[in-house]
Amino acid sequence: QVQLVESGGGLVQAGGSLRLSCAASRSLFSINAMGWYRQAPGKQRELVATITSLGSTNYADSVKGRFTISRDNAKTTVYLQMNSLKTEDTAVYYCIACMQPDDYWGQGTQVTVSS
């Protein structure tokens, strides 16, 4: 099992930046992959970005070139740097830890981008 604690959400104007953090309760090397999903009101949860234990990354097309996922193994923390934010990025952002056989989710952090 792993516990995940997200932080860093908030209110920002369009064009601004935020950095989300996801602190894990165990070594990141023991987790196959970690990532971020988001869910806007009335919409399904969607993948934003993932990073594997080897450091390979993957992004949704909608955030490529604007968001960067990274990890600090010593701090057992994964980050999501979000630049050039758009109003359509407004959502609750969830951290996920992908482990076999289960996935674990954080509690979510709200990101609101105003025009």
Three-state DSSP at 115 gives coil
Percent of the chain with pLDDT over 90: 89
Residue 80 scores a pLDDT above 90: yes
Q: How high is the pLDDT of residue 29?
A: 85
Residue 15 — pLDDT band, cuts 50, 70, 90? Answer: very high
Residue 86 scores a pLDDT above 90: yes
Q: In residues, how long is the chain?
A: 115
Strand 77-82: give its sheet, edge to edge.
4-7, 18-24, 77-82, 67-72
Residue 60 — pLDDT band, cuts 50, 70, 90? Answer: very high
Q: How high is the pLDDT of residue 27?
A: 87
Residue 100 — pLDDT band, cuts 50, 70, 90? Answer: confident
Per-residue pLDDT of 16-34, as tens digits, reads 999 999 999 988 888 889 9
Calpha distance 100→15 (Å, rounded): 38
What's the DSSP call for residue 30? G
